[in-house]
């Protein structure tokens, strides 16, 4: 049984007693509500601004990195589309050069992108109020990245349940398409890009994420960002393979409880 968990998805029924009779009214959808195509276009336009260019920059660096590893351009494009996360993509290239078996390559890439699990758990319920959105929920998680996740969450207050999937689809289409094309361009231009420039482009997207989360109004998120910046580098020196998920758990937990402690102290 599918429960509609979001408040705005449930019909708001009001009972009026007049003349001894009870009438029940249900609000109708506003006539000026944008169509799915219009909302899809809004997602395309929003993603084509700064988020899309951040994806282009980072994936250009990844394409050049794949070229320097003597791998084919097809690998760069396919890895971008199907792994769709820079930590997992970079781990894929590194372990491929070490001659790691295919199963181990898939496992390493999945563990590097394990941060997407809590993001997916918070993303999927946003589509429960839409029949089409809920039906294609696995496609939305496949197309999810930090860019698309943040892009939708920032627009949720302005979107109805039926508009969310079309906006997200447009937003994700631009990001994923730009990433695949940029990977190919970076591969072709690899010989003209110095190695420091390549690494800088790869790291540009995480820096962008840091600024996005630093601008959030959530104190817990800001505290988690600070804790991650402090604990991340030493954890990488201790265990490069597990540093990302361990850092995420430690920093997220620290930010959550630090925020609760500050709230109690203020009260």
Asked if residue 247 and residue 126 are part of one domain, the reply reads: no
Query: Does residue 99 come out as left (phi exceeding 0), alpha (psi in the -120 to 50 range) or beta?
Result: left
Distance between CA atoms of residues 70 and 150, nearest Å: 34
Residue ending a domain, choose from 143, 165, 196: 196
DSSP output for 42-105: HHHHHHTTHHHHHHHHHHHHHHHHHHHTT--HHHHHHHHHHH-SHHHHHHHHHHHHTT--HHHH
Identify whether the C-beta of residue 68 lies closer than 8 Å to the C-beta of residue 198: yes
Asked if residue 176 and residue 232 are part of one domain, the reply reads: no
Asked if residue 49 and residue 181 are part of one domain, the reply reads: yes
% of the chain at pLDDT higher than 70: 83
Assigned domain for 3 exists: no
Range of the domain at 186: 37-196
- Give the torsion sign (CA, 110, 114, 116, 120): positive
Asked if residue 154 and residue 102 are part of one domain, the reply reads: yes
Assigned domain for 9 exists: no
Asked if residue 136 and residue 265 are part of one domain, the reply reads: no
Distance between CA atoms of residues 232 and 235, nearest Å: 5
Q: What pLDDT does residue 212 have?
A: 67
**Angle at the Cα of 202 from the Cα atoms of 100 and 254, rounded to 5 degrees:** 85
Assigned domain for 105 exists: yes
Asked if residue 247 and residue 176 are part of one domain, the reply reads: no
Assigned domain for 259 exists: yes
Identify whether the C-beta of residue 176 lies closer than 8 Å to the C-beta of residue 57: no
Q: What pLDDT does residue 247 have?
A: 87
Asked if residue 180 and residue 49 are part of one domain, the reply reads: yes
Residue ending a domain, choose from 196, 229, 251: 196
- Give the torsion sign (CA, 246, 247, 251, 252): negative
Non-local (6+) Cβ contacts of 166 within 8 A are: 36, 37, 39, 40, 43
Q: What is the pLDDT of residues 120-154, one digit of tens each?
A: 998 999 999 899 999 999 999 999 988 899 889 88
> Average pLDDT, stretch 79-106?
85
How many alpha carbons fall within 13 Å on the CB side of residue 24?
3
Asked if residue 253 and residue 121 are part of one domain, the reply reads: no
% of the chain at pLDDT higher than 90: 29
Q: What pLDDT does residue 179 have?
A: 93
Residue ending a domain, choose from 149, 165, 196: 196
Distance between CA atoms of residues 182 and 81, nearest Å: 11
Asked if residue 267 and residue 225 are part of one domain, the reply reads: yes
144-to-70, 121, 169, 178, 241 alpha-carbon distances in Å: 29, 12, 10, 14, 23
Identify whether the C-beta of residue 66 lies closer than 8 Å to the C-beta of residue 187: yes
How far is C-alpha 191 from the chain's CA centre? 31
Retrieve residue 108's tokens.
């390493």
Count of H-run helices and E-run strands, the chain: 13, 2
Q: Is the pLDDT of residue 17 over 50?
A: no
Q: Domain count of the chain?
A: 2
Q: Is the pLDDT of residue 157 over 80?
A: yes
Model confidence at 87, pLDDT cuts 50, 70, 90, reads confident
Asked if residue 49 and residue 169 are part of one domain, the reply reads: yes
Assigned domain for 203 exists: no
């Amino acid at each position: 049984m599918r429960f509609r968990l979001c408040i705005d998805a449930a019909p708001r029924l009001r009972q009026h007693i007049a003349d001894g009779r009870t009438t029940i009214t249900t609000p109708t959808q506003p006539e000026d509500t944008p169509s799915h195509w219009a909302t899809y276009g809004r997602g395309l336009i929003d993603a084509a601004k700064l988020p899309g260019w951040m994806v282009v920059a980072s994936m250009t660096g990844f394409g050049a990195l794949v070229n320097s590893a003597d791998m084919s351009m097809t690998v760069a494009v396919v890895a971008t589309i199907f792994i769709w996360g820079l930590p997992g993509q970079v781990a894929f290239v590194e372990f491929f050069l070490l001659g790691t078996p295919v199963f181990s390559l898939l496992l390493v890439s999945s563990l590097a992108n394990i941060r997407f699990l809590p993001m997916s758990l918070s993303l999927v319920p946003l589509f429960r109020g839409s029949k089409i959105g809920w039906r294609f929920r696995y496609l939305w998680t496949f197309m999810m990245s930090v860019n698309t996740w943040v892009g939708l969450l920032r627009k949720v207050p302005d979107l109805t349940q039926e508009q969310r999937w079309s906006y997200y689809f447009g937003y994700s289409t631009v990001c994923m398409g730009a990433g695949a094309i940029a990977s190919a361009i970076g591969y072709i231009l690899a010989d003209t890009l110095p190695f420091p420039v390549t690494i800088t482009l790869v790291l540009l997207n995480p820096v962008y994420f840091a600024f996005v989360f630093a601008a959030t109004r959530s104190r817990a998120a800001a505290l988690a960002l600070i804790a991650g910046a402090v604990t991340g580098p030493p954890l990488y020196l201790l265990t490069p393979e597990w540093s990302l998920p361990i850092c995420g758990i430690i920093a997220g937990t620290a930010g959550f409880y630090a925020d609760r402690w500050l709230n109690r102290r203020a009260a």
